[in-house]
Amino acid sequence: MLNGIVADHPHADQPDDNNRILIAWNVRRNKIFSITADPGKILRMEPMKHYRQHFIRRNLMLRADILRAIRLFFVQNDYLEVETPIRIPAPAPETHIDAQEADGWFLQTSPELCMKRLLAAGFPRIFQICRCFRKQERGRNHLPEFTLLEWYTAGHTYLKMMIQCENLIQFVAATVGHPTFIMYRNCRISLSSPWDRMTVSEAFDRYAQTSMIDALAQDRFDEIMATQIEPFLGNDRPLFIHDYPASCSALARLKPDNPSVAERFELYVAGLELCNAFTELTDPIEQRSRFEAEQRLRRHAGKQVYPLPESFLTALNDMPLSSGNAMGVDRLILLLTDANSIDDVVSFIPEELE
């Protein structure tokens, strides 16, 4: 079955080619084939042009530039780049994130637990760019194996993290040639400060057909966010959606003046969720209670129940007030290259590895 890229062949104007020649990509073989109206006629192409990667060369080169810019931003701001294990005994037991098994342990869905243990060990400003894995995630904006940027700052809350997140993306965008705005899927998105902010409750009131409270009661919060709210977020300027319901924030600190919501935000650009950040919960008793609640939800849903990460829970006793952020690097590159899908900004996709 041929699917994917369709384009004019570079040699379509040769005299013996009387018909438009199409290029189609066979995903399984990772090859490009030239096809004329005559099924029996195949043109020979240069070897490099047999591969999907040839057609996304510019995106892959920009990807390297973006990764360098991310590292430069953190080095200039006195952050230590760290590495933590990809294979771990237990991921955070969150209801809607499923980990890939790996010889009795699991491939990380995020480096969060180990990085917070480094915070507890006395490393106040750390970042990491790493591979993460999540089962059953595949689509235009999703890959089961993806690149994640995660960073933590001791002494900061999610409010300071919003400002730093804004500064990071502005720096990276300017470094690759977009100092004031980007174009993404025909939207002109201003990057000038300050970026917009809106609470989750306000987003439901403005865009959804039901309130946030009713959505939670009906167990439809994620569904309504995805279908009724997200398409309208950040289409003119990046938008921080903040103060998520406490029940949707398993590792975030609750607001002291309103414990029904957590100090958590997500950043949206042109309807695309780019990152998830919060003021970190540092109470080991409360964190254990939340993890046990997530275990019950997973059991009720018929999902695998992960063991509690005991070493992480112990380390919380020494973890300082801090904020953390997890940003999808592939999605950031998708935005800055104005690519059609996440497949167009990675060297290989799962279907090419079979």
Same domain, 305 and 254: yes
pLDDT digits (tens, 9 = 90+) for 169-192: 999 999 999 999 999 998 899 999
191 and 265 belong to one structural domain: yes
In the block, residue with structure tokens 């980990």 = 99
* Contact partners, residue 253, CB within 8 Å, separation at least 6: 262, 263, 278, 279, 280, 281, 282
Same domain, 25 and 160: no
Mean pLDDT of 146-167: 98
Mean pLDDT estimate for the chain = 89
- Whether omega before 91 lies within 30 degrees of 0, making that bond cis, reads no
User: How high is the pLDDT of residue 16?
Assistant: 40
Neighbours of 66 (CB within 10 A): 20
In terms of pLDDT, which residue wins out, 5 or 338?
A: 338
Indicate if the pLDDT at residue 74 is higher than 90. Answer: yes
Q: For position 43, what pLDDT does the model report?
A: 52
Rounded Cα gap, residues 179 and 190, in angstroms: 9
Pairing of strands 80-81, 125-133: parallel
65 shares a domain with 43: no
Mean pLDDT of 254-276: 97
Which pLDDT band holds residue 354 (cuts at 50, 70, 90)? Answer: confident
pTM: 0.87
Going along 167-317, which residue ranges are E strands? 181-184, 187-190, 196-199, 239-245, 254-255, 258-269, 272-279
Q: How confident is the model at residue 40 (pLDDT cuts 50, 70, 90)?
A: low
- pLDDT recorded at residue 50: 79
Mean of the pLDDT values across residues 59-80? 98
Any idea what the CATH number is for the domain that residue 204 is in?
3.30.930.10
- Are residues 42 and 77 located together in one domain of the fold? no
Mean per-residue pLDDT for 135-157? 95
Confidence class for position 136, pLDDT limits 50, 70, 90? confident
The reply to whether 45 and 82 lie within a common domain is no
Co-location of 75 and 138 in the same domain:
yes
DSSP label at residue 43: -
| Residue 1 clears pLDDT 60, i.e. is over it | no
pLDDT level of residue 46 (50, 70, 90 thresholds): low
Lowest mean pLDDT among 32-36, 260-264, 321-325: 32-36
Q: Is the pLDDT of residue 197 over 90?
A: yes
Same domain as 291, residue 250: yes
Give the per-residue pLDDT at 28. Answer: 46
DSSP state of 354: -
In the prediction, which pLDDT does 154 show?
98
**134 close to 99: Cβ distance less than 8 angstroms:** yes
Report CA dihedral (129, 135, 138, 141) to the nearest 10 degrees. -40
Asked whether residue 89 falls in the same domain as residue 168, the answer is yes
Reply yes or no on whether the pLDDT at 34 is more than 60: no
**In the chain, % of residues over pLDDT 90:** 84
Residue located via tokens 């995903």: 27
Total tally of structural domains belonging to the chain: 2
Per-residue pLDDT at 39 = 53
pLDDT tens-place string over residues 276-323: 999 999 999 999 999 999 999 999 999 999 999 999 999 999 999 999
Stretch 151-162: mean pLDDT = 98
User: Do both 219 and 136 map to the same domain?
Assistant: yes
More reliable by pLDDT, 236 or 11 = 236
Q: What three-state secondary structure class fits 197?
A: strand
Same domain (yes/no): 23, 158: no
Domain that holds residue 92: 56-353
Residue 247 shares a structural domain with residue 262? yes
Among 43-52, 98-107, 146-155, 316-325, which stretch is predicted with the lowest mean pLDDT?
43-52
79 or 43, higher pLDDT: 79
